[in-house]
Amino acid sequence: ARMMMTLHLGQTLTFTGDPFREGPSATTHSSRGAVLVEGGRVIETGEADALRAAHPQADVRDHGDGLILPGFVDAHMHYPQTAMIASWGKRLIDWLNSYTFPEEGKFADRAYADEIAARTLDLAIANGTTALTSFCTIHPGSVDAFFAAAEARGMAGFAGKTCMDRNAPDYLSDTAQSAHDDSKTLIERWHGKGRATYVITPRFSPTSSPEQLGALGALWVANPTCLMQTHLSEQVDEIDWVKGLYPQARDYLDTYEAHGLLGERGLYGHAIHLEPREADRLREVGAGLVHCPTSNTFIGSGLFDMAARVAEGQRIGLASDTGGGSSFSMLRVMGAAYEIGQLKRNPIHPAQLLWLATEGSARVLHAQGEIGRLAPGSAADMIVLDLASTPAIAQRSALASDIWEALFPTIMMGDDRAIAKTYVAGRQMKG
């Protein structure tokens, strides 16, 4: 029996190349486009009239002027921090000790982990994010909770047990051996199961001994299709602390590199204050830099130099970093990336912002073609964006002379109200 085909009609916008290399012309916009979906996958994209004629049996969903886009891909966040988002007044180290660690301690309780995982994924769907990359807590049950909640919604999830064996409270500390063994068990349970990808997760060098970093480096060698995520050079005080803890290291990145934790499938959150050697090595290995602009302004970390990193040819993704980041909306994250670009005298084009939140993040996750794109064969993880979701946005987009001017007010001023519909693997989850 044939599966049901669904033909979505609306405005469409797809990338034909990398807008950082080729400019905004590396896109195709159709004011009356179509996306044909069957069995949770995109079968074909094109013009509405042509696809209607070619597939008269398809069930038609007409989204009018709504802009059909791939769902956003958040390349770095902390689901256990959902409940303590927007905590006032501290910078990184004090923020972790005062707000973050006490909240993460609650995840020893599996029922609480389930509740927050469900809450986080529902907030993501409401905000048009269809794939998340998350740190969990040191508790293996926090990883089970995240992947189970993602599986229940059919979502692509990238996550791992956060490992810490020093400079953390006792109730949030593991050991080099238990971090390795628990992570290994979780890899066997979840990696490659459905849409789950396991991410080996040392929190950052200050909370791992050299022995723990080495044990996780060995685990990565044994499981090379896993990703690895951590934090790198977020705040100046943190970098000074790392230099004191690892006196032999050439720089912060070297603490990871020396322990087998630098690689193409590595995701390095923040990466703001990079030394030239660090930037060179990250580019040489093709590692993923994950820009977290709402977090960087909220925690006061610094200004990511997008122009310099693009010129070097780095692989870059975009992320909310909630609850260090102050919004669940990747629209707000794109807006913050634009504002930081402005402070660096580099106005980032809306095509580039959109690319970072979809294809760019998918590429750092080595999931390009599967997520972050609407093309034949990719997952039908899609959103319909309302480009006139509030009076202020509507009056500005009404004056637009092209799709970028129509979209930019939503990037700067939009929130969950702009997400008219969210589909995960073809299934409608919002709207």
Question: Which positions touch ligand GUN (CB under 6 A)?
Answer: 78, 92, 96, 100, 203-204, 231, 234, 295, 299, 321, 324
The least CB distance from residue 76 to Zn ion, in Å, is 6
d(CA 234, CA 24) in angstroms, rounded, equals 30
d(CA 317, CA 363) in angstroms, rounded, equals 8
Residue whose CB is less far from Zn ion, 105 or 269: 269
Amino acid at 301: S
CA distances from 42 to 5, 23, 24 (A): 10, 26, 24
Residue spans of alpha helices (H) in 154-291: 176-190, 210-222, 236-245, 252-257, 276-285
The least CB distance from residue 235 to ligand GUN, in Å, is 8
* CA 310 and chain centroid, separation: 18
Residue whose CB is less far from Zn ion, 174 or 234: 234
| Distance between start and end Cα atoms, the chain | 29
Residue whose CB is less far from ligand GUN, 163 or 383: 163
> Of ligand GUN, Zn ion, none, which one sits near residue 203, judging by CB under 5 to 8 A according to partner kind?
ligand GUN
The least CB distance from residue 156 to ligand GUN, in Å, is 22
The least CB distance from residue 410 to ligand GUN, in Å, is 26
Q: Which residues contact 288 (CB under 8 A, 6 or more apart)?
A: 75, 265, 266, 267, 268, 315, 316, 317, 363, 364, 365
Residue whose CB is less far from ligand GUN, 38 or 103: 103
Residue whose CB is less far from Zn ion, 100 or 358: 100
> Which x/- pattern over 250-269 shows residues binding Zn ion (rule: CB under 5 A)?
-------------------x
Nearest to 422 by CA among 5, 71, 78: 71
> Of ligand GUN, Zn ion, none, which one sits near residue 296, judging by CB under 5 to 8 A according to partner kind?
none
Using CB under 5 A as the binding rule, the residues of this chain from 300 to 329 that contact Zn ion are 321
d(CA 238, CA 251) in angstroms, rounded, equals 12
Residue whose CB is less far from Zn ion, 265 or 421: 265
The least CB distance from residue 231 to ligand GUN, in Å, is 4
> Of ligand GUN, Zn ion, none, which one sits near residue 234, judging by CB under 5 to 8 A according to partner kind?
ligand GUN
The residue with its CB nearest to ligand GUN is 324
d(CA 104, CA 160) in angstroms, rounded, equals 14
Q: Which residues contact 146 (CB under 8 A, 6 or more apart)?
A: 79, 113, 117, 134, 136, 157, 159
Instruction: Return residues touching Zn ion (CB under 5 A).
Output: 269, 321
